[in-house]
Amino acid sequence: MPVDIDKINAQIEEKSSIIEPLLSEASKAVIGQRYMLERMLIAILCDGHILLEGVPGLAKTTAVTALSQAIKADFRRIQFTPDLLPADLTGTQIYRQSDGQFYTRKGPVFANIILADEINRAPAKVQSALLEAMQEKQVTIGDETYQLPQPFLVLATQNPIEQEGTYPLPEAQLDRFMLKISVGYPTKEQERQILDLKTNPKAAEAINSVISPDSIFQLREVISQIYIDQKVKDYIVEVVHTTRHPSVINADLASLINFGSSPRATIALALAARAQAFLKGRGYVTPQDVKTIGMDVLRHRIIVSYEAEAQEITSEDVVKMIFDNVEVP
């Protein structure tokens, strides 16, 4: 059945008009982090989770809070610490002496948007509890399993420079994050604006709710109709396949990778490329959309070798090499 690109384009152009007001509202509290806000929005539109990595003070927490306010979603912040227990996250059963029955007290994970602040400070048991919530969209308390509210998204932050008292995220949990964003410092001009905003309480503007969670489902339905040509699909598969078999395109690259990306990366790359096209107001995906979002999808899904570490080559460097070597359709 032929695809009517013009019809899809018209629909995308109409629905994507909400993106700019949404980002504008979030930008009232966050200056100079447009890239981070766009990536967070892509994760929300794709029903994926996102990991924000950056040094303290770069507005990671503020950005998540602002975006949740603009979406009018139920938001909870959970500060991860070494003494956190799974029950502090998911909830627990409490004995009621008056009638001799147990009743369930649900934890903060029962919300639409969860900010897992400094996620790598939580021990393995807590991370496992969060893993079930992220993957299955449900939690188990006692003998009962409870579905989480929809939409459900985990936006986690971690500090890359301070490793004392932290528990590195296992590869299985990292793979559950659709995107991993490296948050950088603002420019000098942006920092000057931040100074004006934060030192003058009257300058702060209230963030208005632009869309509701129900609107998120409608946008997801529209994004699912964005056209991906067979050649672009082949390109996505080729990129991910190359992370596992790099010697096919470059013999030197093979010595730099221990483990490549799973099929989950292929799915995430296609979904994120669609959302990227939506942000640009297009009804079709181009190879450039794949390249634009590819780093954030793949950087945490490639494990480099000891040889790469010895040469100070990171997974980001490897992803760049792969995109430079895979033929673009």
Looking up residue 81, the CATH number of its domain turns out to be: 3.40.50.300
Residue of 184, 198, 202, 143 lying closest to 34 (CA atoms): 184
148 plus 245 within the same structural domain: no
Mean predicted confidence (pLDDT) in 99-128 = 84
User: What is the pLDDT, as a whole number, of residue 3?
Assistant: 65
Q: Is the pLDDT of residue 50 over 70?
A: yes
d(CA 220, CA 12): 11
How far is residue 103 CA from its own chain's centroid?
A: 34
Mean pLDDT to the nearest integer, 157-183: 78
CATH, residue 308: 1.10.8.80
Q: What integer best gives the mean pLDDT of the chain?
A: 85
Within this chain, do residues 160 and 302 fall inside the same structural domain, yes or no? no
* The pLDDT of residue 5 is above 80: no
Using alpha carbons, select from 169, 84, 60 the residue that is nearest to residue 120: 169
C-alpha distances out from residue 281 to 12, 44, 151, 201, Å: 6, 17, 23, 36
Residue that is last in its domain, among 184, 199, 214: 199
What Rg, from alpha-carbon coordinates, does the chain have?
21
Q: Judge whether 319 and 298 are in contact, CB under 8 Å.
A: yes
- What percent of the chain is predicted at pLDDT more than 90? 17
Query: Domain count of the chain?
Result: 2
Confidence class of residue 165 from pLDDT cuts 50, 70 and 90? low
pLDDT at 163: 61
The verdict on residue 205 lying in a domain is no
Average pLDDT over residues 103-123: 86
Q: Return the structure tokens found at 103.
A: 């009743």
For residues 312 and 170, state if they share a domain: no
Q: What is the pLDDT of residues 226-265, one digit of tens each?
A: 989 999 999 999 999 999 888 877 777 888 888 888 899 9
Residue 7 has pLDDT above 80, yes or no: no
| Amino acid 161: pLDDT | 66
* Predicted pLDDT of residue 289: 93
Residue 10 token pair = 């018209």
- Mark whether 183 and 139 lie in a shared domain: yes
Residue 6 binned pLDDT confidence (cut-offs 50, 70, 90): confident
The size of the chain, in residues, is 329
In a domain, 14, yes or no: no
* Poorest-pLDDT segment among 54-58, 154-158, 201-205, 211-215: 201-205
Q: How confident is the model at residue 2 (pLDDT cuts 50, 70, 90)?
A: low
* Highest-pLDDT range among 98-102, 152-156, 169-173: 152-156
At 76-105, the pLDDT tens digits run 888 888 888 888 888 888 877 777 777 888
* Per-residue confidence (pLDDT) for residue 260, from 0 to 100: 85
User: Predicted confidence band at 203 (pLDDT cuts at 50, 70, 90)?
Assistant: low
The answer to whether position 64 is within a domain reads yes
Structural domain containing residue 275: 226-325
Q: Which of 161, 180, 199 is the last residue of a domain?
A: 199
